[in-house]
Amino acid sequence: MGQSSSSARIAEELRREIAGLAAGSRLPSTRALVERFAASPVTVQHAVRALVREGLVESRPGAGTFVRRARPASRADLSWQTAALGAARAQGAVVGSTLQTPSDDVIALHSGYPVDDLLPVRAVQNALARAARTRSALDRPPASGLAELRSWFAEELAEATPATGSAPTAADVVVMPGGQSALSSVFRSLARPGDAIVMESPGYWGAIAAARQAGLEVVPVPRRPSPAPSTGHGWAAVDPVDLAETFERTRARLFYAMPHFANPTGTSWTEADATALLEVVRAHGAFLIEDDWAHDFALDAPVRPVATRDVDGHVVSVRSLTKSVSPAVRIAAVVARGAARSRILTDRVVDGLYVSGVLQTAALEVVSSPAWHPHLRRMREQLRTRRDALAGLVDELLPPGTLTSVPRGGLNLWLRLPDGVESTTYVEACARAGVLISPGPEWFPAEDPESHVRLNYSGPAPGRFEEAVRIMARELAGLQRLRER
């Protein structure tokens, strides 16, 4: 056997060995290899040099030869995964545009999260730092959440519950790591894959995505158009007759809704809507999943959650603190009764065992401090100013009828674009011109029969609202001119 075939054999054997060695492992010395393979030093060195050329090992003069750090070479053939995984469950892009983090020079009206100036940042920092120093906060809390925090959530609902109602207690609450987790848990717990879930349309994109991920079929019920004073046409609650028909047609047992300051339309149910829709839910042996997302953003009048009308466990209520306390404090709660509550708790345990005690302790400190309500008042005052400014500019600078309504709470304006202006095209034109807004289709479980965009007025640059709306007006005019040609 000649030197080169012999060195090839040695190299091959070493290659196999190297495959089993960690990076940095030392190869046997040339002398040891010479002995082991009964080959000449030249043959051995020839083999080792081949491995060096291949990048498998490196020689460090005086120290020896070492297995090299793996190259992050991800050119592997992963196509087998296509067969293993099959079609994806949630079709299309599930990550809403509201989650983008933009660069500083654009004007961001797309986000779903209030900017720091509106949040109790110092109180949150102090509460987190104090919680970190509290030994008990480092321990594993009960699966359903800290008792005091559950009491606080229950109390918030109980305070608004009339004497004829049935006020929740801490035993009805499950603490969740944020509102989105809460929705996912509730959908998984109260329905099975293939079941239908009824939703207001338009409605929250995160709920649509969570329901689809849980394998549910999202069945939209349209909001009714409602003539809004002066500014065009707005949106009202869904029609109880539509809801009843949908329950009967689909055999759905779940109705997900945002009864107050709905995202994106800003619509609130009237007292009559709440009574009628809850009656339909009860008559069909179904659950209303009330997403009370904007409880802390009630700008003109306080919220009375529909859950306060519930006497026999038909309402499952979700309330999150993430948007009003801090993005770092991902804490929400589900309030539910009976078997529904115990299924939701089971899902929570299986999905994540428990929620960090530090986050729960900090959240409780922030919301139960005497500074919390004064903070909420100041924040609402700022939000009112922002809303009125942005709504006024839209009303003044964009075509009549664009502003569908001035919502009494929440964080968003919902705009209807003139006929023939496609939402995504318009959003892209605005983004190129430095203004980020959200395309309407994300909020529709099916097609948007018209064309909408959402503006969030809690973003970073209220001083640039006018600049933003002027750009939006210019881009809109541009698209309309293009269309008329």
**Of residues 426-485, those binding a second copy (CB under 8 A):** none
- Per-residue string for binding with a second copy, 342-371, x by CB under 8 A? -x--xx-xxxxxxxxxxx------------
# binding residues, a second copy (CB under 8 A) = 117
379: CB partners within 8 A, 6+ apart: 114, 118, 119, 296, 324
Measured distance between the N- and C-terminal CA atoms of the chain, rounded to whole angstroms? 82
Looking at 112-258, which runs of residues are DSSP E strands? 173-176, 196-201, 217-228, 232-238, 254-257
Tokens for 434? 């430095």
According to CB under 8 A, which one of 138, 241, 301, 477 is a site residue for a second copy? 138
> Minimum distance from CB of 285 to a second copy (Å)?
5
Q: Which is nearer to a second copy, 358 or 437 (by Cβ)?
A: 358
According to CB under 8 A, which one of 101, 104, 229, 370 is a site residue for a second copy? 101
331: CB partners within 8 A, 6+ apart: 149, 175, 176, 177, 178, 320, 321, 322, 325, 355, 359, 360, 363
Parallel, antiparallel, or unpaired for β 287-291 and 254-257? parallel
> Minimum distance from CB of 101 to a second copy (Å)?
7
250: CB partners within 8 A, 6+ apart: 196, 198, 217, 219
Q: Give the count of beta carbons closer than 10 Å to the beta carbon of residue 82.
A: 9
Under the criterion CB under 8 A, does residue 15 sit at the interface with a second copy?
A: yes
Q: How far apart, in whole angstroms, are the C-alpha atoms of residue 145 and residue 149?
A: 7
Q: Is 187 exposed, middle or buried (0-12, 13-18, 19+ CB in 10 A)?
A: buried
Tokens for 18? 């190297």
Q: What is the DSSP string of 57-69?
A: EEEETTTEEEEPP
Q: Which is nearer to a second copy, 161 or 246 (by Cβ)?
A: 161
CB 184 within 8 A of CB 210: yes
Q: Scanning residues 369 to 408, which ones bind a second copy (CB under 8 A)?
A: none
> Minimum distance from CB of 257 to a second copy (Å)?
17
Q: Which is nearer to a second copy, 204 or 426 (by Cβ)?
A: 204
Q: Scanning residues 176 to 195, which ones bind a second copy (CB under 8 A)?
A: 177-178, 180-181, 184, 188, 190, 192-193
CB 265 within 8 A of CB 414: yes
301: CB partners within 8 A, 6+ apart: 408, 409
Q: Scanning residues 59 to 98, which ones bind a second copy (CB under 8 A)?
A: 67-74, 76-78, 80-86, 88-90, 94-95
According to CB under 8 A, which one of 8, 160, 244, 473 is a site residue for a second copy? 160
Please tell me what DSSP assigns to residue 110.
-
> Minimum distance from CB of 94 to a second copy (Å)?
6
According to CB under 8 A, which one of 8, 143, 389, 431 is a site residue for a second copy? 143
Parallel, antiparallel, or unpaired for β 107-108 and 435-436? parallel
CB 317 within 8 A of CB 166: no
Q: Scanning residues 22 to 41, which ones bind a second copy (CB under 8 A)?
A: 22-25
> Minimum distance from CB of 93 to a second copy (Å)?
9
Q: Scanning residues 242 to 271, which ones bind a second copy (CB under 8 A)?
A: 253, 271
Q: Which is nearer to a second copy, 358 or 415 (by Cβ)?
A: 358
> Minimum distance from CB of 26 to a second copy (Å)?
13
According to CB under 8 A, which one of 146, 175, 210, 258 is a site residue for a second copy? 210
Pick from 306, 275, 291: which is nearest to 200 by CA? 291
Under the criterion CB under 8 A, does residue 52 sit at the interface with a second copy?
A: no
- Per-residue string for binding with a second copy, 267-286, x by CB under 8 A? ----x-------------xx
According to CB under 8 A, which one of 172, 200, 292, 475 is a site residue for a second copy? 172
C-alpha R_g of the chain = 30
Q: Could you give the 3-state DSSP secondary structure of residue 102? A: coil
> Minimum distance from CB of 137 to a second copy (Å)?
6
Q: Which stretch in 28-36, 124-132, 399-407, 425-433 sits in contact with a second copy by CB under 8 A? A: 124-132
Pick from 362, 318, 365, 346: which is nearest to 143 by CA? 346
> Minimum distance from CB of 423 to a second copy (Å)?
22
Q: Which is nearer to a second copy, 74 or 103 (by Cβ)?
A: 74
> Minimum distance from CB of 228 to a second copy (Å)?
25
- Residues written for the chain: 485
Q: Could you give the 3-state DSSP secondary structure of residue 441? A: helix
> Minimum distance from CB of 68 to a second copy (Å)?
4
According to CB under 8 A, which one of 168, 264, 266, 440 is a site residue for a second copy? 168
Q: Which is nearer to a second copy, 273 or 475 (by Cβ)?
A: 273
> Minimum distance from CB of 13 to a second copy (Å)?
13
- Per-residue string for binding with a second copy, 293-332, x by CB under 8 A? -----------x---xx-xxx------------xxxxx--
> Minimum distance from CB of 351 to a second copy (Å)?
5
CB 92 within 8 A of CB 55: no
> Minimum distance from CB of 168 to a second copy (Å)?
7
According to CB under 8 A, which one of 59, 166, 231, 369 is a site residue for a second copy? 166
